[in-house]
Amino acid sequence: MHAVAASLVTAALLAALAGCATAPSAPASPAARYIVVRHAEKASDDARDPDLAPAGRERAQRLAARLHDEPLRAVYVTAYRRTLQTGEPAARAHGLTPIVYDAKRAPAEFAAQLRREHRDGATLVVGHSNTAPDIAAVLCACAVEPMPDSEYDRRMIVDIDAHGHATLRIERDR
């Protein structure tokens, strides 16, 4: 009789301890984070490949400051001066060299490369109004609003957890 009672008490204690082990804890950091932005405000000095305007240079500095505490592992920019000038301050602050990607590359191909090569930490991608939302949409496998040519302040943050589930969060820099 005592053996049965002892077994029941042991089983009850193990069940209670198991419940403690699965209690919710603080949210875990994402396995990977992709921060997708459009280049900052451009100047009118060159119709095809303009530099950033003074407001754009300020926005690029604010982006770098915003990403100061991110575990940034890579910064991707296109071959245009405005994207390089947007991503360069954040890259420099993290001791990184911007990586140039083809702005005409299919978003699905580019997103697959990002997910394959950057499975942890944060990756900044600087694109254009007609590419950044599509890249974010493929990364999160969700709908992302198109971006008008006048919009420069949207940060699309895609977090991928350890199980591969993606969530999209939009932040604004005003």
Supply the DSSP string of 148-163, one letter for each residue.
-TT---EEEEEEE-TT
Looking at residue 9, its amino acid is V
Share of the chain above pLDDT 90, in %: 81
Class of domain 29-172: alpha beta
**Residue 18 pLDDT level (bands cut at 50, 70, 90):** very low
Give per-residue pLDDT as tens, 90-144: 999 999 999 999 999 999 999 999 999 999 999 999 999 999 999 999 999 999 9
**Average pLDDT of the chain?**
88
Kindly indicate the confidence band of residue 174, based on its pLDDT and cuts at 50, 70 and 90.
Answer: low
Going from N- to C-terminal start, the domains of the chain cover: 29-172
Q: 39: closest CA among 88, 108, 91?
A: 88
pLDDT tens column, 70-97: 999 999 999 999 999 999 999 999 999 9
